[in-house]
Amino acid sequence: MSYLDRISLPGEADPGSYGTCREEEPALYVTDDFKTAQKLKKEGHAVLIYLHEGNMQEDFSEFMYAVEDPGEIDREYAVRVYQRLKGLPWKITETARCLIRETVPEDVDVFYEIYSHPEITRYMEDLYPEKEQEKQYVREYIEKVYSYYEFGIWTVVEREKGEVIGRAGFALREGYEDPELGFIIGVPWQRKGYGEEVCRAVMEYGQRRLGFSRVRAMVDPRNGASLRLCGRLGFLERERVLCQGKEYVRLEAVFNE
């Protein structure tokens, strides 16, 4: 007898305006049977594989998620698996004024408006020349970074008006082990405390949810505003470094010490 369970997720995995899923009642299916899993997947359902001794010889490599004990599936995990399989962004965390969520290709148009201000690209890399290039980069980022590491650079949304106002999160830089804090707030929303509010929430998420004990920041030495913000967040300057021919101040924040 094969195992099959349907976890109903009404109101918890609302697609909103993102992704392609428009199910009346979002649900995650859990099964240990290969043929059943394939059938459900072809029908467009989100499928989680239950692995046990009886099906270890089956090739479930086409399925992204699997568990060894269905009884340990909690609601948050079920929602996140469903959203990932349906191409929907995870909500990362919230502040009093902002929502931080995963980036979707639909955000790119607003990113170009934010990055069009010369103050933004003065200290950081610009976007791709063409919007479609940037959207493809976001699609690949979702697949290769969010899905693998479960963190990355996220989108910041002002909650009251639902406007995308910036980006914040963690990145991995070649040659360094510790994650790196990155943030950008669009010029119209600067000097209103959004940067500190968002970065504090992101840092707390990194410590509490991701288990980070140490976070870096790499800041252009001319960028006084970002250096001051890092100072308020508890970062300490460690050294000046050259990275790809550009000078940075390397700062470090340590948790639980």
* Nearest-5° Cα angle at 139, 138 to 145: 75
Residue 242 token pair: 């050259």
Q: Quick one: pLDDT band at residue 18, thresholds 50, 70, 90?
A: low
Q: Quick one: pLDDT band at residue 11, thresholds 50, 70, 90?
A: confident
Three-state secondary structure of the chain: CCCEEEEECCCCCCCCCCCCCCCCCCEEEEECCHHHHHHHHHCCCEEEEECCHHHCCCCCCCCCCEECCHHHCCHHHHHHHHHHHCCCCCEEEECCCEEEECCCHHHHHHHHHHHCCHHHHCCCCCCCCCHHHHHHHHHHHHHHHHHHHCCCEEEEEECCCCEEEEEEEEECCCCCCCCEEEEEECHHHCCCCHHHHHHHHHHHHHHHCCCCCEEEEEECCCCHHHHHHHHHCCCEEEEEEEECCEEEEEEEEECCC
Q: How many whole angstroms separate alpha carbon 187 and alpha carbon 171?
A: 22
pTM of the full structure = 0.91
Q: Tell me if 33 sits within 8 A of 4, measured CB to CB.
A: yes
CATH superfamily of this structure's domain 91-254: Gcn5-related N-acetyltransferase (GNAT) (3.40.630.30)
- Write out pLDDT tens, residues 154-183: 999 999 999 999 999 999 999 899 999 999
Comparing 4-8, 9-13, 40-44, which segment has the lowest mean pLDDT? 9-13
| CB neighbours of residue 213 within 10 Å | 12
Ranges of each domain in the chain: 4-85, 91-254
Q: Mean pLDDT for the chain?
A: 93
**What mean pLDDT is predicted for residues 101-129?**
95
- Write out pLDDT tens, residues 184-235: 999 999 999 999 999 999 999 999 999 999 999 999 999 999 999 999 999 9
